[in-house]
Amino acid sequence: MKDEVKLVIDATPGYEPYDRQKIIEQNKKNTVRHAYFREYLALQRLCLLILRHQRHQIGTGARQIYGILFDGAWLWEEYINLLIKDIFYHPMNKSGKGAQRLFDGNVGLIYPDFISRNSEPRIIADAKYKLLGNIGNRDYLQVLAYMFRFDAKAGYYLYPEAEGSDDLKLWLNRGSTYEKNVVPRDDISITKHGLKIPMDAQNYSEFTAKMKVQEQEFTSVFYA
């Protein structure tokens, strides 16, 4: 989302907050009419709602609602926090709580998802609302940077697992391919640790009962 916001800002360098009301009035008077741009009419209406801090009224009014947008990644992160909050600190970038810095002088703002309360050994965990195979290079670099910052030897990706796959533990390499001396370390690792989601429940009660079992198994690795 930050990348998308940056694109909008870069594309509108002349915008100033005090211009907002003028922009709203101009777009109210000059709605998209040309048939070639008809698909932009709905976008224009949506932008006006956002600029005026209004919202769609679900179930009322003349506008038809086609869907509701929610932040699944954030919901997953907060759900995981309910399970492990006794073991991990949880910095929250939405509210600006628990901010950390990479460098001296208050430089390099970061918000790791989870930092273990126990510093020996320190663990960094990252909630990922992704499939196992979609957790890749950029994700690795982020968690490794957090691990380096907090002197952690172990990192975790906490993701929803529907296929029943076991944990995947990745050992950090040392050495260089140029020198042909690449070998895995035995002291620094990142583990993809999935919370198994029951897929065979017949009703909600059965699903919640199975989820409780999976939640206990999921958190047990951090109490070992």
Is a pLDDT exceeding 90 seen at residue 142? yes
Nearest to 219 by CA among 116, 75, 145: 116
Judged by DSSP in three states, 222 sits in coil
What CA–CA distance (Å, rounded) separates 188 from 197?
A: 28
35 or 101: which leads in pLDDT: 101
99 or 59: which leads in pLDDT: 99
pLDDT tens profile 199-216: 999 999 999 999 999 999
Classify burial at 93, counting beta carbons within 10 Å of its beta carbon; exposed 0-12, middle 13-18, buried 19 or more. middle
Model-level pTM greater than 0.75?
no
What's the average model confidence in pLDDT over 60-76?
A: 78
Question: What pLDDT does residue 197 have?
Answer: 94
Question: What pLDDT does residue 3 have?
Answer: 82
Question: What pLDDT does residue 59 have?
Answer: 59
Q: CA separation (Å) from 90 to 48, 135, 160, 176?
A: 36, 21, 19, 35
Write the CB contacts of 190 (distance below 8 Å, at least 6 apart in sequence): 140, 143, 144, 147, 154, 155, 156, 157, 169, 170, 172
pLDDT tens profile 75-85: 999 999 999 99
Long-range contacts of 213-217 (CB under 8 A, 24+ apart): 215/83
Nearest to 140 by CA among 191, 207, 178, 201: 191
Asked whether the beta carbons of 139 and 126 are under 8 A apart, the reply is: yes
What CA–CA distance (Å, rounded) separates 179 from 85?
A: 44
What CA–CA distance (Å, rounded) separates 174 from 179?
A: 11
Is a pLDDT exceeding 60 seen at residue 151? yes
What CA–CA distance (Å, rounded) separates 135 from 177?
A: 24
What's the average model confidence in pLDDT over 141-145?
A: 95
Question: What pLDDT does residue 100 have?
Answer: 94
Is a pLDDT exceeding 60 seen at residue 56? no
Classify burial at 65, counting beta carbons within 10 Å of its beta carbon; exposed 0-12, middle 13-18, buried 19 or more. exposed
Question: What pLDDT does residue 223 have?
Answer: 82
Question: What pLDDT does residue 93 have?
Answer: 85
